[in-house]
Amino acid sequence: MEDTPLHRDGNWPAGPLSQILSVEPTQAWWRCPTCSMAGTLAQLHVYGPEPGLTARCPGCARVALRPVKEADHIWLALRGSAGAFRFRTA
């Protein structure tokens, strides 16, 4: 599909994503869309076991993110089962 005035290809968010993915993540701010609790990534409640972890809101247990580590990749789902991004790590 070619670019149209209504949308751009997936390379467009690479610039801002490369900036946020290279900084310390534990102090990233997060706000729950269900109960409105706000805090840092480090304050989420995380459940295992590895390699798949689920980080949930401490107020209402809504899933905030799910990182899954594989040998050469990390999958990252930002909401429940609504899809995931796979990042190459090796």
Residue 78 in contact with Zn ion, rule: CB under 5 A: no
CA atoms of 74 and 85, how far apart (whole Å): 8
Residue span binding Zn ion (CB under 5 A) among the ranges 5-13, 15-23, 26-34, 65-73: 26-34
Give the interface size with Zn ion as a residue count (CB under 5 A).
Answer: 8
Maximum distance among all Cα pairs of the chain, rounded to whole angstroms: 45
List the interface residues with Zn ion, window 29-68 (CB under 5 A): 32, 34-35, 37, 57, 59-60, 62
CA atoms of 28 and 39, how far apart (whole Å): 8
| Matching residue, tokens 């390379």 | 11
| CB of 31 vs Zn ion, minimal distance in Å | 9
